[in-house]
Chain A
Amino acid sequence: MQLKPETKTKIKALLERYPQRQATLLPVLHLVQEDFGYLSDEVEELVAKELDIPRAAVSEVVTFYTMFYREPIGKYHIMACHNLSCTLMGAEKLIQHLEHRLGVKSKAPLGETTEDRRFTLTRVECLGACGEAPMMQINDKYHLNLTIEKIDKILEELP
């Protein structure tokens, strides 16, 4: 297993930009996770080598942040906000509906994945869009002012 050449080029550019090597770790992990889908032991090792920092420094960071995955997840990661403003606007009903529809249990910090590996259903805390509650994030995109009908439509239209 190897890092992609384009990724290596991007890492080099980051190393030139940042005042210190280890400071590039979060951006590098984001890049690498995009390539591999998750951060396995092997990938952590590659990152440590590339940045010339101890492997333990990489593992520590990967486990601390919820957006870094230690295992493969579904093609679509549904992150349903269950903090207060979303709860007030009916988030729990939406989440129950999704659990039912997808046949998985929602959990934090990482929920269950459907058998076909299409969806992972995670509960997350406030995503900073409370004025448009209830809301969910699917991969990179925010979906706002949700209703059961809207979320059904969104799921049906996903490629």
Chain B
Amino acid sequence: MEKKLLTKYWHDPNHKMLDGYLKNGGYTAIKKALGMEPDAVIEEAKQSKLRGRGGAGFPAGMKWSFIPKKTDKPKYVVCNADESEPGTFKDREIIHKDPHSLIEGIAICAWAVQSHTAFIYIRGEFTEEAKMLERAIQEAYDHGYLGKGICGTAFDLELILHRGAGAYICGEETGMLESLEGKKGQPRNKPPFPATEGLFQCPTVINNVETLAVMPWIVLNGGAEYAKLGTPDSTGTKLVGISGPVKRPGVYEIEMGMPLMTFINELAGGMIEGKTLGAVIPGGSSTPPLTPAQCEQAKISYESLDKLGSALGTAGIIVLPDDFSVIEAMTVIARFYADESCGQCTPCREGTGWLYKTMKRIYAGKGAAQDLQMLSHISAGMKGRTICALADAAAWPMEGFLRTFPEAFQKAVTPKQAR
């Protein structure tokens, strides 16, 4: 059922310590990479067709290849450990069980793009996780996997763990760069893109924790081997999280393309006693919901979920039981994006605010029929017009809920006597 590349040794409690990690073959991938040309490492990443695991799904190898080769500026690698898209909790698992895979993946990326300074930006609330990473980083320094001349080569690599301080928007990559520079985490206009003008105006790669942590496997086994797994558009494996009233919530590594219902019923054990499946949000709270009928057709892959009008996103599955009001669910989602908008762009600041206010009114039973048109209208006006994708991330689920559960919304705005 599970396909364990990244999670192969997670049952081993010593794997999180350097000793255990080395026994399980750790830090052989970085040694191999250091013996290759940096471009050859980028080529392996490209061949793997691995798509970034932070939500946007941009091909990782291609991103690395955008970093200019000839430049006088320093280059930076930033690992995005902000993990704050509601429903997502996979990166936390990686940090708990496999911090050295992440460090090794960062070193591979740094070598590939020839960067000597890397950062892990971890969300501020992850205090225990920051301590775990700090300990692993120290172990890596003490044994020459980080610092001056790593693995006995002439390649230097500093890795700095940087804690955020509570702001969802710092998960957006340019908000993160601003935050790393000691400023408010307000996203930047693009272009320029981080590949040319990122951290401190220097070329910067930003990758999610999972994207980087799987790199050691890709380097050791080859990109082509990775691409053999999964589907043509969704290669490899994926860490999929599942929460809500299922018997075994948690994070599982599966080969891409697994039927969604197989995942829910077999890995997660199905619904808890007395609950029936009502809807599934497949990839974090910004991805539109699926009905039980759609779930039957869905596979866990980028293309299958796109086709059903949703998205793989972060692969944080949220299962809603049929006795939970979809109006309440959408109200919670709308509140989140309204609270987290950084306020720079009018369509986002105003739009997220209106969506929340209107949803709250409908949830309180005070909605009117024209509210539904207004919700669609506001959502449409928020998409593709702002500095970052938070506005889109708020509009997608709104449009998705309206499209998927029209009866529930109609009923919610119908006066009680008339129902």
Closest to A125 in B: B336
For window 6-49 of A, CB contacts with B under 8 Å fall at 17-27, 29-30
The prevalent SS among residues of B at the interface is: mixed
How many residues of chain B are within 8 Å of chain A by beta carbon? 57
Any chain A CB within 8 A of the CB of B180?
A: yes
B92 touches A125 (CB 8 A): no
Name, among A29, A60, A64, A131, the residue most crowded by chain B CB atoms within 10 Å (CB to CB): A131
A101 neighbours in B (Cβ, 8 Å): none
B320 touches A88 (CB 8 A): yes
CB distance from B227 to the nearest CB of A (A): 29
B182 touches A84 (CB 8 A): no
B332 touches A82 (CB 8 A): yes
Any chain A CB within 8 A of the CB of B324?
A: yes
B324 touches A88 (CB 8 A): yes
CB distance from A128 to the nearest CB of B (A): 4
Any chain B CB within 8 A of the CB of A3?
A: no
Name, among B92, B125, B316, B340, the residue most crowded by chain A CB atoms within 10 Å (CB to CB): B125
B319 neighbours in A (Cβ, 8 Å): 88
B332 neighbours in A (Cβ, 8 Å): 82-84, 87
A30 neighbours in B (Cβ, 8 Å): 124, 163, 165
Q: CA A4 – CA B378 in complex, angstroms?
A: 51
Closest to A65 in B: B165
Any chain B CB within 8 A of the CB of A66?
A: yes
Known: A66-B167, A131-B250. A57 touches B182 (CB 8 A): yes
A131 touches B249 (CB 8 A): yes
B245 neighbours in A (Cβ, 8 Å): 88-89
Known: A26-B165, A30-B163. A85 touches B125 (CB 8 A): no
A128 touches B167 (CB 8 A): no
Any chain A CB within 8 A of the CB of B251?
A: yes
A83 touches B86 (CB 8 A): yes
Any chain B CB within 8 A of the CB of A140?
A: yes
CB distance from A85 to the nearest CB of B (A): 4
A125 touches B339 (CB 8 A): yes
A126 touches B164 (CB 8 A): no
B162 neighbours in A (Cβ, 8 Å): 26-27
Binary contact readout A67-98 vs B (1 if CB under 8 angstroms, 0 otherwise): 11000000000010011110111000000000
B242 touches A131 (CB 8 A): yes
A128 touches B125 (CB 8 A): yes
Q: CA A47 – CA B11 in complex, angstroms?
A: 45
Closest to A66 in B: B166
Q: CA A46 – CA B316 in complex, angstroms?
A: 42
Known: A85-B318, A88-B318. A67 touches B124 (CB 8 A): yes
Closest to A68 in B: B165
Q: How large is the interface on A (under 10, 10 to 19, 20 to 34, 35 or more residues)?
A: 35 or more
Name, among B83, B162, B244, B324, the residue most crowded by chain A CB atoms within 10 Å (CB to CB): B244
A23 touches B182 (CB 8 A): yes
Binary contact readout B107-130 vs A (1 if CB under 8 angstroms, 0 otherwise): 000000000010000011111100
Q: CA A126 – CA B128 in complex, angstroms?
A: 16
A132 touches B249 (CB 8 A): yes
A65 neighbours in B (Cβ, 8 Å): 124, 164-167, 185
A60 touches B339 (CB 8 A): no
Binary contact readout B176-190 vs A (1 if CB under 8 angstroms, 0 otherwise): 000111111100000
CB distance from A79 to the nearest CB of B (A): 8
B318 neighbours in A (Cβ, 8 Å): 84-85, 88, 130
Q: CA A84 – CA B5 in complex, angstroms?
A: 30
B316 touches A130 (CB 8 A): yes
Any chain B CB within 8 A of the CB of A104?
A: no
Any chain B CB within 8 A of the CB of A102?
A: no
For window 281-320 of B, CB contacts with A under 8 Å fall at 281, 285, 316, 318-320
Name, among A20, A21, A26, A140, the residue most crowded by chain B CB atoms within 10 Å (CB to CB): A26
B89 touches A131 (CB 8 A): yes
Any chain A CB within 8 A of the CB of B54?
A: no
Known: A64-B185, A88-B244, A133-B243. A128 touches B165 (CB 8 A): no
Binary contact readout B78-109 vs A (1 if CB under 8 angstroms, 0 otherwise): 00000111111101100000000000000000
CB distance from A29 to the nearest CB of B (A): 7
Q: CA A124 – CA B166 in complex, angstroms?
A: 10
Beyond known contacts A67-B124, A88-B321, A108-B339: 10 more, CB 8 A cutoff: A19-B74, A20-B181, A22-B181, A66-B165, A66-B166, A66-B167, A85-B318, A128-B83, A131-B89, A131-B242
Q: Report, nearest first, the 10 A-B pairs whose CB atoms are least far apart.
A: A25-B182, A65-B165, A66-B166, A67-B166, A22-B182, A130-B243, A126-B86, A85-B243, A140-B127, A64-B184
**What would 13 A/B residue contacts be, using CB atoms closer than 8 Å?**
A65-B166, A66-B166, A83-B86, A85-B87, A88-B321, A88-B324, A125-B86, A125-B339, A126-B87, A127-B125, A128-B89, A128-B126, A133-B249
Residues of A within 8 A of B (CB): 17-27, 29-30, 53, 57, 60-61, 64-68, 79, 82-85, 87-89, 108-109, 124-133, 137, 140-142
